[in-house]
Amino acid sequence: MVANLPPQYYEKEAELKKAKTPEEKIAILEEMLSIMPKHKSSEKLQALIKSKISKYRKMMEKSPQIAKRSAVPVIEREGAGQVAICGPPNSGKSTLISALTKAKPEIADYPFTTKIPVPGMMKYEDIKIQLIDTPSLSTEFSENWVEIY
């Protein structure tokens, strides 16, 4: 049998496909459930939607929302490639990044000026390449998240 669903249901179904968080999905599924007609031919669809709501609620209970803080800086890759510029103190890494990109890393005469990685986008013809200014590598001193072997 045909469930005879209204057009608003199909709009909500399209929204559901775009939703990313479980909270958004639950809200959309509840709206879909309220929009759909309640009769014998839609019972299986109602059960399916209710089980999806239950599944997303269990997912939310299982993994509580915790602020994601990382001791190690993570820079997501952007553009065609990602290049990390590494080297000893006062070797011109920050100056190179500043010259090739629009990034403004701190540049000073003293060593170990760069404390955390600084990303910048370099344009080469019609390609964008991500350059990353990293802290200096040294056996005497390093940030607590940098391991030198």
Average pLDDT (78-82) is 88
Bigger pLDDT: 144 or 81?
81
The answer to whether residue 74 scores a pLDDT higher than 90 is no
For residue 63, the model assigns a pLDDT of 64
- Convert the pLDDT of each residue in 109-127 to its tens digit: 888 888 788 899 999 889 9
* 3-state SS string for the chain: CCCCCCHHHHHHHHHHHHCCCHHHHHHHHHHHHHHCCCCHHHHHHHHHHHHHHHHHHHHHHHCCCCCCCCCCCCCCCCECEEEEECCCCCCCHHHHHHHHCCCCCCCCCCCCCCCCCEEEEEEECCEEEEEEECCCCCCCCCCCCCCCC
Domain that holds residue 92: 67-144
Model-level pTM?
Answer: 0.47
Identify whether 107 is part of a domain.
yes
Specify if 1 maps to a domain. no
Output the pLDDT for position 121: 92
Asked if the structure places residue 149 within a domain, the reply is no
Kindly state whether residues 77 and 41 are assigned to the same domain.
no
CATH code of 124's domain? 3.40.50.300
| 48, 80: one domain | no
pLDDT single digits (tens) 2-49: 678 888 999 999 999 999 888 999 999 999 999 988 888 889 999 999
**Total domains in the fold of the chain:** 2
Distance, in Å, from the CA atom of 126 to the CA atom of 120, rounded to the nearest integer, reads 16
Same domain, 53 and 88: no
- Same domain? 45 vs 76: no
